[in-house]
Amino acid sequence: MLEPGFHDVPEGCLATVVTYLEMRAPILRPEPQLERGAFALRRVETPKVDWYRDLFRRVGAEDWLWFSRLVMDEAELAAILKDRDVHVYVLEVGGDEVGLLELDFRESGACELAFFGLVTSMIGTGAGRWLLNRAIERAFRPGVARFHLHTCTFDSPQALAFYRRSGFVAVRQQVEVLRDPRLSGYLGEDAAPHIPIFRGERGPC
């Protein structure tokens, strides 16, 4: 356990505050008025690893330092994507793939919002609310009593407030220290320019 106060982060590493949230019954918030068919949600039954990583990167890597699925062993990731209890969806607008939704039902009685995000150009268009409502509808299938997720301070500064406005309740926080993926070569050094890079010898993270 961390004691109250300030704690140095090793050079070459980053620290982020992770907030865990959950919803115990479906709550659907009002959506913007849209032209019929403006947004389309398509489930991808058997995602290819290359396709998935490309969408994952476009949605989260360059702006928000999403990298967990980029560094994962290809066989391990393929096994997750092929699992019948992992549902991958893509948000499409005019035939363009502009959002990722991944629901994980592998825990009995629960669903995790494993990944949820939009390409930068779709933020502020109402797509986020529309997509989250579709996620909630699908998450609370028979037998599911808990829909949960986690977000962190690397994510969009709007994310935590958005989830709370949507009916999720914060239940736990952690501090995560990790090796900066921009210094490991998994992401370019121009990714997430709002997060500073602290160079140095590889630390304990």
Domains and their CATH numbers in the chain: 14-26+37-179 (3.40.630.30)
Q: Report how far residue 56's alpha carbon sits from residue 66's, in angstroms, rounded to the nearest whole number.
A: 8
Residue pair 70/17 in contact (Cβ under 8 Å)? The answer is no
pLDDT band at 35 (very low <50, low <70, confident <90, very high): low
> Quick one: pLDDT at residue 94?
92
Asked whether the predicted pLDDT for residue 205 surpasses 70, the reply is no
The 10s digit of each residue's pLDDT in 95-113 is 999 999 999 999 999 999 9
The 10s digit of each residue's pLDDT in 48-93 is 999 999 999 999 999 999 999 999 999 999 999 999 999 999 999 9
Asked whether the predicted pLDDT for residue 161 surpasses 90, the reply is yes
Q: How far is CA 200 from CA 13, 27, 148, in A?
A: 9, 46, 36
What pTM was estimated for this model as a whole? 0.94
Number of alpha carbons in the 13 Å side-chain half-sphere of residue 144: 24
Asked whether the predicted pLDDT for residue 44 surpasses 90, the reply is yes
Q: Report how far residue 86's alpha carbon sits from residue 186's, in angstroms, rounded to the nearest whole number.
A: 25
